[in-house]
Structure 1
Amino acid sequence: MAPNRSQIRSKLQPHLDHIHVKLNKRVHTKYPKMPLITFTGLPCSGKTRWAEQLIEQLEHKIAAAQESSAPGHNYKIVYHSDETLGISPMAYKESATEKHARGTQLLAVKRDLSRSTFVILDSLSYIKGFRYQLFCEAKGVVTPHCVIQVMNSVDTCVAWNDASSPKKWDSDVIHQLSMRYEEPNADSRWDSPLFTVVSDYAGETLPVDQIWEALVLKRPPPPNAATLVKPTTGNDYMQDLERLTLEVVTKVVQHQQLTSAGGNVVVDALQNICVEIPTEAVSIAQLQRIRRTFVGLNRMRSIDVHRIQSVFVDYLNKSLNE
């Protein structure tokens, strides 16, 4: 008599379980979790106080998980803020210095997205485009992320700033930032999951259990071709990255030596790759600074060699003309 389906399955089940365990190990090895927590809110809204509370409570969660080797038992915490990154409140007075500040923040986050690490960014993060960049970095390495919005009235933020010693922020800058602030939206994937805390509410608490659930216990979002970080291919890739970006900068410098400022510098006529030079002259130092930033941002990912100059020119054009 031939065995029935249940008998066949019972014989195969140990082998299926073994395969399932091996596949799970491969998934977790290939795509380790590296949760990113982005704080957003106005200056002096209480973000740092909430970030400190979150760190303390996450440390308790990690310690509890270590007792039973539960998920999260091997996690550590890395904290970044404007203060730790050496970013002055004065940087937010001018668009150029503010853009450089955001670049510093993004670079720090990208550097520290590593196996089993909570990366906490305690900053304004008031531009949705910047939060989207952070989301893409998290998704690119297949890690969960969340946004914590710290809410407070503008008047209270100004009052708390005035009461601090020394006073950190210019009151006019706080008001200007409140006008430019782009509220996070829980329906947008780059702002989700979104947790909100109100600083001047006496009974407010952090939803730490929900944050732990979202970042440790849930599966991270799948990557797509646009955000997936590919491992670098070694010295050859870095040499190509350095050489091809330097070629672009050299062509821009030569163009400015021969002509007045402004115009287009043709990098590749066949692919229609051109650097758009602004009307003001661009210094060699500025070009090299942009180039170094680009190389740093792409050091840990592999861009196809034939696309390096195209991607760099796009980045250069945005940096020069924003």
Structure 2
Amino acid sequence: MACITISGYPCSGKSHRAEQLKKALEDRLADSQNAGPKLKIHVLSDEEINVSRSAYDESRLEKPARSAMLTAITRHFSKDTILIIDGMNYIKGYRYQIYCAAREAGVRVCTLFVVATADMCRERNTQRDESSQYALSTLDNLIMRFEEPSSMVRWDSPLFTIPWDEELPVDDIWKAIISGEKRPPNQAVAVLTKAPTDALQTLEQTSGTLVQLILSAQSHAAAPGGVLTVTLPPSIRLQATVPSRNITLSELQRVKRQFVAVHKRALTQGLAGKGDLDWSEETIARKFISYLEETLN
């Protein structure tokens, strides 16, 4: 349904804002005046997937931690769930990965940027239990490498920037996740329908049979050209409009080779699921007749 990515410095209050937002959205959903769908709200955090603070001490530990979080995110995407991602989310490339996964799953997205000063974050870190603290060098490194979200890029939009001492814009967030734009999947990640394994064989046989049927119909016609009626066994009746002259076998063979080549390319390049070609014998036959008419006329 929707994915809300929370970003900000470590110890900036992201988890507090995540719980605030969850409570506010749950109140909206429980309101008797809400006539919308029944939705669940889930806050996904490092703690839930057992990623410790020490995972950010070294890049060799941080990369598998981010990978584990991304896997958990995609697993929680659902048409009836509002997912709040309470993770580090400080790298723009990682937020882009989340955005692409959300587009592929067909859910709306928005970003919540929790703003706090570096000094405030360092102070809050020292006030935590020792098991929940970041090492001072790790905290400084994460703050230094933080890549601020921007409303100018599509993977951070719509962006809600929340200073540490201001209220959440719940109305605007609600509007973004309930009725905001739902971006379609990128073609690079769109799921394509696979063609049947015998599609190429059907393509060759059907177009070859039609070549012979058209030659036969032409030989029995009262005059060259016009509308030729052919019947593809067992009972597919087709009509082809050809020029007012005798069409040679070599012409028909050339058209057949071009037609097969175009559709073979679609098969080999993974484009078979696009368009309205369903690779059945009748559909291929009708496509071939249309291609023949366009080429010869």
- Bin of the TM-score, shorter chain as denominator length: 0.5 to 0.7
Over aligned residues, Cα RMSD in angstroms?
Answer: 2.2
Post-superposition shift, 1:195?
Answer: 0.6
SS state at 1:108 partner:
helix
1:43-69 deviation per Cα after TM superposition (whole angstroms, max 9, x unaligned)? 1110000000000000011112xx356
1:176-225 deviation per Cα after TM superposition (whole angstroms, max 9, x unaligned)? 111111111111000100111111x2xx1011110110110224112231
Give the Cα–Cα distance (whole angstroms) in 2 for the partners of residues 81 and 230 of structure 1: 32
Please say if 1:145 is aligned against 2:109: yes
2:209 aligns to what? none
1:54 aligns to what? 21
Give me the TM-score of the superposition, normalised by structure 2: 0.63
Any unmatched runs of 5+ in structure 2? 196-266, 271-297
| Equivalent in 121, 136, 140 of residue 175 of structure 1 | 140
1:42 aligns to what? 9
Any unmatched runs of 5+ in structure 1? 1-33, 234-303, 308-322
Give the Cα–Cα distance (whole angstroms) in 1 for the partners of residues 268 and 65 of structure 2: 29
Q: Kindly provide the amino acid, as one letter, of the partner of residue 211 in structure 1.
A: I
Name the CA shift for 1:229/1:62 in 2 (closer, same or farther; >3 Å): farther
Give the Cα–Cα distance (whole angstroms) in 1 for the partners of residues 85 and 134 of structure 2: 19
Select the structure of larger CA radius of gyration. 2
Q: Kindly provide the amino acid, as one letter, of the partner of residue 74 in structure 1.
A: K
> After TM superposition, which residue ranges in structure 1, 4 or more long, deviate above 4 angstroms?
229-233, 304-307
Aligned length: 198
Q: Kindly provide the amino acid, as one letter, of the partner of residue 105 in structure 1.
A: M
Please say if 1:227 is aligned against 2:192: no
Please say if 1:210 is aligned against 2:177: no
2:162 aligns to what? 197
- Kept in 1, the 8 Å contact 2:112–2:162? The answer is yes
Give the Cα–Cα distance (whole angstroms) in 1 for the partners of residues 157 and 24 of structure 2: 21
| Equivalent in 73, 76, 82 of residue 109 of structure 1 | 73
Q: Equivalences for 1:82-121 in 2 at 5 Å?
A: 82-121=46-85
Post-superposition shift, 1:152?
Answer: 0.8
Post-superposition shift, 1:70?
Answer: 2.0
2:97 aligns to what? 133
Give the Cα–Cα distance (whole angstroms) in 2 for the partners of residues 173 and 122 of structure 1: 19
Give the Cα–Cα distance (whole angstroms) in 1 for the partners of residues 64 and 149 of structure 2: 22
2:285 aligns to what? none
Give the Cα–Cα distance (whole angstroms) in 1 for the partners of residues 161 and 140 of structure 2: 21
SS state at 1:164 partner:
coil
SS state at 1:195 partner:
strand
Give me the TM-score of the superposition, normalised by structure 1: 0.58
Identity %: 40
Name the CA shift for 1:94/1:232 in 2 (closer, same or farther; >3 Å): farther
- Kept in 1, the 8 Å contact 2:57–2:135? The answer is no
